[in-house]
């Protein structure tokens, strides 16, 4: 199985790569390697280290805005429901009015139930054992 070095959740990845870079930098120094070879890795870590917290802040802000939007939606729906109920029950309301407003146009003709496309299935339980009868 292939080695899975880089952790998936961003916070775990951030902790891992910070430790990884510090350990690699120490290893490079102990081995006497040219530390300039680590410059692209260090720059990539720097970009990541700025991008990840910015992303977290943006997600937090987006979550806050989403919660505000959802609360506003619930309030608006709560205000619209009694108005809709009044309009639905008002004797002078026509189906054209309902369609224009975008509320339910009641079906008074009694739409027939469509013909089933599959056979009925049944579950029989006898003595604690369940049996399924399929088509």
pLDDT of residue 135: 41
Domain span at residue 9 reads: 1-102
Q: Does 108 fall in a domain?
A: no
Record the tokens describing residue 112, joined without a space. 């027939």
Domain assignment present for residue 116? The answer is: no
pLDDT of residue 96: 95
How many domains is the chain partitioned into structurally?
Answer: 1
Is 132 a domain residue?
A: no
33: nearest Cα among 41, 25, 44? 25
Could you say which residues of the chain have pLDDT below 50?
A: 129-130, 132-135
Tell me the pTM.
Answer: 0.56
Q: Any idea what the Cα angle at residue 76 is, between residues 71 and 78, rounded to 5°?
A: 95
Angle between helices 39-89 and 10-31 (to 10 degrees): 180
pLDDT of residue 70: 94
Is residue 115, in this structure, part of any structural domain at all? no
Domain membership of residue 112 (yes or no) is: no
């Amino acid at each position: 199985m292939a080695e899975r070095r880089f952790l998936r959740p961003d916070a775990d990845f951030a902790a891992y790569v910070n430790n990884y870079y510090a350990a690699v930098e120490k290893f490079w120094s102990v081995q006497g390697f040219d530390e300039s070879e680590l410059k692209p890795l260090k720059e990539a870590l720097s970009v990541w280290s700025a991008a990840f917290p910015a992303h977290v802040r943006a997600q937090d802000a987006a979550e806050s805005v989403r919660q505000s939007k959802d609360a506003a939606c619930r309030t608006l729906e709560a205000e619209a429901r009694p108005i809709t109920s009044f309009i639905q029950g008002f004797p002078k309301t026509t189906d054209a009015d309902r369609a224009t407003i975008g509320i339910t146009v009641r079906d008074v003709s009694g739409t027939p139930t469509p013909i089933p496309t599959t056979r009925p299935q049944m579950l029989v339980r006898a003595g604690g054992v369940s049996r399924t009868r399929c088509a």
